[in-house]
Copies of this chain bind each other. A is one copy, B any other.
Amino acid sequence: MRRKEIIRPDLNPNVSVDCVIFGFDFQQLKVLLIEREGDFPDEKSRLALPGNLIYDDENLNMAVNRVLKELTGLDNIFLKQIGAFGGVDRISKETDKEWLRSIRAHPDARVITVAYYSLVRISDYLPAASSFAVTANWYNVDEIKDLAFDHYTILKTGLNQLRREISFRPIGFNLMPEKFTLGQLQRMYEAILGRSLDKRNFRRKIMKINILSATDEKEYDVPHKPAQYFKFNEANYKSLVETGFDNFSF
């Protein structure tokens, strides 16, 4: 018998939030998944998106921020709603049903989940901060083929939305450290979009939208010409995010 989630009378059995937490390690797009305890047919179906039921005195934003805070220790993460999923048919896998019986006060309740994707700097994430009674790890997005419940559908939907959104707003900066090179930035776009981009065209385009400032720092100790570090120009970014911009795609 595994231990039940903290059971409060005001935990609503019908509405949950789930998070697709994206990160970027300068090579690949990552997603933070939790590993469930128990017996599962394979390793993939053991993995799940972090999420939880919501409390009766919370709205959706409060709930998803609480889940993120509990898992990552982080506040004020970039968040965007993917949408609402499901109903009675969400929980079709027998192992998922068993697992719910082991941790839920109302294991058979129909749960509608509201999913969000969030973008975090992997370096800010401290696994130790987690108050979840689970282990969480970063996985390469393109290696994930299945997940618990309908979480794989949610992941794919979130990734598609991120791909679309990044063509309209430079939200990808939430994945980057304060200082970064143009090469790193390009690799982030390539990781999200899943295709390679032309270096010269990328640079022309990203410089044109005017949200980067060059710093006077350079890489060092690299076995090639050291790249210049850039910072993200917040003022220009904000006005851009508000108006959106028409033409921004790679």
Contact = CB atoms under 8 A, between A and B. Distances in A.
Contact of A89 (B59, B81, B85): B59
Interface string A38-76: 000000000000000010111111110000000000000
Given A83-B83, A112-B112, A114-B112, A88 B15 contact: no
A87 interface: yes
A59 B87 contact: yes
A193 interface: no
A86 interface: yes
B110 A87 contact: no
Copies of this chain assembled into the complex: 2
Contacts of A114: 84, 112
A92 B210 CA distance: 41
B15 A57 contact: no
Contact of A84 (B14, B57, B83, B88): B83
Interface size band for A: 20 to 34
Contacts of A54: 87
A88 to B, nearest CB: 5
Interface string A6-38: 000000101100000000000000000000000
B57 A88 contact: yes
Interface in A161-185: none
Interface of A: 12, 14-15, 54, 56-63, 81, 83-90, 110, 112, 114
12 contacts: A15-B112, A56-B110, A57-B88, A58-B87, A59-B86, A59-B90, A60-B112, A61-B87, A81-B83, A81-B84, A84-B84, A84-B114
